């Protein structure tokens, strides 16, 4: 067997490897006690969590990509999918590991956080099995429902209605179920273009973090920072300027991010005013809520689905990113436009700090008008096809 000689060209270290090594050195530096204490003493724990999750996700994503290729865990072009080449699916595992270890390593383990983190990992594990071997949508939905009920039983539940009455408690549990399952699957549906789900999760986490800062909720802020960091560390491999994604989140990653962010909204204390408390998270998650509501109404009105099972099993190119891309004919610009929409609504949520009831109502109406403008534009684009 001949061994190829080592030449100057083959011995060069690529810029990507140099960057990976530098990030690796940075991550190892973060693990040292003096550096960790420095961040904590400077009251920059959020920055430490952000840096920890981001650097670890960046380091792990190429590793998980290689693992996915080795075991054939790939997303092949088919049906409603718009990518043209088989792409590794385990990028979400890197995000999950980075997020989880960032919380554990920094002792962010309040009982409620441990509960919803455990629930999130169960949901992600089931979706990982789907990425690898395939599972029916009904099975995944059933697991999500069971996990949400388990969390509600242990006190992780919305309190929009009177909590001391039976009917109020039942409505709170039902609303929690609709919220968490809806946001989880809406995020999964958004994972249809390079960088969309991870970037949208980063935008949402950023604004949740700002609200946590405004309302002095450190645990909420640290978790948001962990989500933001893990998504930012993953995005360079998933949203590239001139090349298609090198790796996808997979269902495991997108459902995990959606579930974590939805639960984070449930455990957060948004405002003493119940209208403001309701409006702020709705605005931050507006893009996901709008997409889920739009496809549901349109599919029912057009007779595409006639019952819950058909709705669960239905797949199609009628999501927000598909419709906008049909209008502007550019996937990257579509993703950036949706980022911008989400950031716009997020800024409205930030403006609700110490707001009156009328202020929150006006900002929600503004969000509805912006959504109406987008809908008119994308429907106009359809009519010109």
pLDDT tens digits along 11-46: 467 888 899 999 999 999 999 999 999 998 888 899
Q: Please say if the pLDDT value at position 80 is more than 70.
A: no
Q: How high does pLDDT run on average in the chain?
A: 88
Range picked from 4-18, 38-52, 67-81 for highest mean pLDDT: 38-52
Per-residue pLDDT band for 4 (boundaries 50, 70, 90) equals: very low
305-351 pLDDT, tens digit per residue, is 887 777 777 777 888 888 898 888 889 999 999 999 999 999 999 98
Whether 259 is in a domain gets the answer yes
According to the model, what pLDDT value does residue 316 have? 77
Distance of CA 26 to the CA centre of its chain: 25
Q: Please say if the pLDDT value at position 285 is more than 70.
A: yes
Residue 109 Cα distances to 11, 112, 206, 333, angstroms? 46, 8, 21, 39
Kindly state whether residues 162 and 299 are assigned to the same domain.
no
Q: Please say if the pLDDT value at position 115 is more than 80.
A: yes
Kindly state whether residues 165 and 206 are assigned to the same domain.
yes
| Cβ(254)–Cβ(197) below 8 Å | yes
Q: Among 269, 294, 310, give the residue marking a domain's end.
A: 269
What mean pLDDT is predicted for residues 3-16?
Answer: 55
Distance of CA 315 to the CA centre of its chain: 20
Q: Among 236, 269, 302, give the residue marking a domain's end.
A: 269
Kindly state whether residues 299 and 182 are assigned to the same domain.
no
| Residue that is written with structure tokens 């809520």 in the block | 289
Q: Please say if the pLDDT value at position 141 is more than 90.
A: yes
- Structural domain containing residue 349: 272-385
How many domains in the chain? 2
According to the model, what pLDDT value does residue 165 have? 82
């Amino acid at each position: 067997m001949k061994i190829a000689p080592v030449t100057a060209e083959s011995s060069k270290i690529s810029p990507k490897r140099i960057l990976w090594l530098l990030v690796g050195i940075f991550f190892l530096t973060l693990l040292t006690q003096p550096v960790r204490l420095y961040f904590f003493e400077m009251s920059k724990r959020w920055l430490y969590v952000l840096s920890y999750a981001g650097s670890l996700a960046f380091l792990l994503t190429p590793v998980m990509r290689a693992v996915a290729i080795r075991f054939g865990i790939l997303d092949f072009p088919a049906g409603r999918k718009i990518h043209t080449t088989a792409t590794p699916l385990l990028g979400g595992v890197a995000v999950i590991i980075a997020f989880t270890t960032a919380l554990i390593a920094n002792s962010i383990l309040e009982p409620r956080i441990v509960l919803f983190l455990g629930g999130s990992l169960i949901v992600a594990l089931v979706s990982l099995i789907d990425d690898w071997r395939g599972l029916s949508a009904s099975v995944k939905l059933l697991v999500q429902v069971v996990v949400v009920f388990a969390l509600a039983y242990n006190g992780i539940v919305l309190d929009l209605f009177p909590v001391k009455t039976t009917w109020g408690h039942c409505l709170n549990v039902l609303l929690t179920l609709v919220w968490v399952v809806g946001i989880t699957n809406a995020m999964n549906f958004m994972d249809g273009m390079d960088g969309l789900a991870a970037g949208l999760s980063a935008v949402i986490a950023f604004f949740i973090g700002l609200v946590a800062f405004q309302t002095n909720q450190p645990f909420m802020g640290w978790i948001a920072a962990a989500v933001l960091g893990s998504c930012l560390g993953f995005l360079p491999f998933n949203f590239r300027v001139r090349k298609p994604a090198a790796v996808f989140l997979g269902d495991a990653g997108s459902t995990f991010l959606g579930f974590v962010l939805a639960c984070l909204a449930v455990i957060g204390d948004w405002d003493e005013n119940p209208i403001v408390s309701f409006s702020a998270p709705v605005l931050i998650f507006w893009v996901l809520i709008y997409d889920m509501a739009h496809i549901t109404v349109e599919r029912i009105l057009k007779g595409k689905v006639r019952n819950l099972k058909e709705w669960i099993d239905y797949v199609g190119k009628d999501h927000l990113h598909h419709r906008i891309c049909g209008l502007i004919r550019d996937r990257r610009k579509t993703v950036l436009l949706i980022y911008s929409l989400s950031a716009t609504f997020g800024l409205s949520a930030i403006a609700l700090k110490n707001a009156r009831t009328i202020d929150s109502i006006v900002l929600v109406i503004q969000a509805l008008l912006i959504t109406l403008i987008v809908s008119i534009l994308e429907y106009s684009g359809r009519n010109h096809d």
